[in-house]
Amino acid sequence: MIYYLYEWLEESNIPGIGMLQYISFRSGAAVILSLILSTAFGRQIIRILKAKQIGEEIRDLGLEHQAHKQGTPTMGGLIILSAIIIPTLLFAQLDNIYIILMLVTTIFLGLIGFIDDYIKVFLKNKSGLAARFKILGQVSLGLFVAASLFLSDDVKVRQHVKNPDGEYLKETIIDPVTGRETFQFVTEDVKSTVTTIPFVKENEFDYAWLVSFAGKHKSMLKWIVYALVIVLIITAVSNAANLTDGLDGLAAGTSAISGVTLGVLAYVSGNIIYADYLNIMYIPKVGELTVFVAAFAGSTVGFLWYNSYPAQVFMGDTGSLALGGILAVFSVIIRKEILIPLLCGIFLIENLSVMIQVAWFKYTKRKYGAGRRVFLMSPIHHHYQKKGIPEPKIVTRFWIVGIILAVVTIVTLKIR
């Protein structure tokens, strides 16, 4: 909304009003406001949750340091969601299709998580919302995102134009300073299912290649494949973030690291100068997402003020489902979804540890009559707890691994 204030007052010559047009200024304002909202007003939300006796029922897992968790207010994801949505509404361009998609993702998955927490807390059903309904919601969101990317005329990427022989077209331009002739590639903005793959020189991958056998049906079939990939990514990352939310500060801190990294990738992908210098895909209008991800990072860091060990509040599914979904959709929009296993490596490890544990237990039970375990307990952060490592140390080490993965993710921009 404040962005449109600039458009209204553009001719007024008010000192400093021009800063509102810059993404960097609005991103800085968004992160500051989100930090204020999540820290200053987070305390008020915690008091309300305590007054309503919205406390966490902790299962006895045979772990040390569980006593402090019993009765801790949950549904603290409301702090995160409000600290994302309010700064975004104030500082972002609300007619930007990518901002709209991220707001829909935040609200929709936050609502699913809220329903799950409500059933657990108020209806005293420890199972919460049935898994099939969570999956149905995540799949529905994935289809909505895919349809939006397919149907919206604002969703395009800039690509080099090729001639019938497959060679890139060039055009002659005259340098206005020196008068010399130079050449540049001819480009156009097109709808495409192209994405980015790391560590290779020609770092673009088109989902259309997977259906090259389809002939005249290829143009439609590639979007179907793309939609299925988006659904898979959103479902996997959202649930993985939910599994990671088992130690104080783990999910929030890990999400903040991933969010900052995605913000860097979004900014350079939406800036034609940086995109050209780094030789990466330029995506018009995607730079506006920097404002959203700034609010995302500020909200998760601010939430850590109360969620760090020993936690004064838990985010619950209200926060964890939304955090994972936001990272997934954001990655898809900036065409970096193939980097998710690297960037969100902590989420991946947590998810895999559960899958391995369950699969091995079922296999050994069927073969030997008694189930056996790979880990002392899953997700894997509980395995380390069982080994006697203090909770704060586990969380800090996971953050360090997350930072390393984030650095490697950014390095992929140049290492090919």
* pLDDT tens sequence across 268-285: 999 999 998 888 889 999
Cα Rg of the chain, angstroms: 23
Which two structure tokens, joined as six digits, stand for 209? 């290649």
Check whether residue 180 and residue 202 sit in a common domain: no
Least-confidence region, from 123-137, 140-154, 167-181, 182-196: 167-181
53 shares a domain with 184: no
Beta partners for residue 184, in sequence order: 171
If asked whether residues 138 and 232 sit together in one domain, one would say yes
Query: Rounded to 10 degrees, what is the CA torsion of 47, 258, 293, 287?
Result: 180
On whether both 298 and 182 belong to a single domain, the answer is no
> Can you tell me the distance from the alpha carbon of 383 to that of 397, in angstroms, rounded to the nearest whole number?
14
Mean pLDDT across 60-85: 79
pLDDT confidence of residue 357: 96
> What is the arithmetic mean of pLDDT over 80-97?
95
**Is the peptide bond prior to 310 cis by the omega test (within 30 degrees of 0)?**
yes
Pull the structure tokens for residue 60. 């006895």
pLDDT digits (tens, 9 = 90+) for 158-171: 887 776 766 667 77
Same domain? 286 vs 145: yes
- Would you place residue 396 in the very low, low, confident or very high pLDDT band (cuts 50, 70, 90)? very high
Residue position matching structure tokens 């006697």: 388
Tell me the two tokens of residue 414.
């140049």
Which pLDDT band holds residue 247 (cuts at 50, 70, 90)?
Answer: very high
Ramachandran angles phi, psi of 174, nearest 5°: -110, 125
Q: Which of 87-96, 126-135, 172-181, 273-282 has the lowest mean pLDDT?
A: 172-181
In a domain, 39, yes or no: yes
Per the CB < 8 A criterion, the answer to whether 244 and 251 are in contact is: yes
Report if residue 97 sits inside a domain. yes
Same domain, residue pair 177 and 257:
no
Residues 118 and 209 in one domain: yes
The arithmetic mean of pLDDT across residues 201-205, rounded, is: 81
**CA 401/CA 173 separation, integer angstroms:** 47
State how many domains the chain has: 2
pLDDT of residue 72: 84
What is the reported pLDDT for 288? 95
Model pLDDT for residues 133-163, shown as the tens digit of each residue:
999 999 999 999 999 999 999 999 988 777 6
Q: State the pTM of this model.
A: 0.92
Question: Which of 144, 168, 190 corresponds to the end of one domain?
Answer: 190
Residues 125 and 167 occupy one common structural domain: no
CA distance 348 to 217: 34
**Is the separation of the CB atoms in 120 and 126 below 8 Å?**
yes
SS3 state at 364: helix
For residue 380, being part of any structural domain is answered with: no
Q: How far from chain centre, in Å, is Cα 362? A: 32
Q: 293 and 146, same structural domain?
A: yes
Supply the pLDDT for residue 344: 95
> Domain check: are 211 and 186 in the same one?
no
- What pLDDT sits at residue 11? 61
Q: DSSP string covering 132-146, please? A: HHHHHHHHHHHHHHH
- Of the pLDDT bands very low, low, confident and very high (cuts 50, 70, 90), residue 61 is low
**What six digits make up the tokens of 279?**
């030789």
Range of the domain at 94: 26-155+198-338
* The domain boundary residue, chosen from 300, 320, 338: 338
Residue 91 has pLDDT above 90, yes or no: yes
For range 380-403, the mean pLDDT = 95
pLDDT at 60 over 70: no
pLDDT at residue 364, as a whole number: 94
In a domain, 8, yes or no: no
What span, in angstroms and rounded, lies between the C-alpha atoms of 224 and 232? 12
222, part of any domain: yes
* 369 pLDDT tier (thresholds 50, 70, 90): confident
Q: What is the pLDDT of residue 7?
A: 61
Q: Residue 162: how many CB atoms within 10 A of its CB? A: 12
Give Cβ neighbours of residue 215 (< 8 Å, ≥ 6 apart).
Answer: none
Residue 382 lies in a domain: no
End-of-domain residue from the set 338, 357, 385: 338
Spatial CA neighbour of 283 closest among 154, 125, 129: 154
pLDDT for 340 beyond 60: yes
Choose between 188 and 144: higher pLDDT: 144
Task: Tell the residue number behind the tokens 């008091």, with chain if given.
Answer: 47
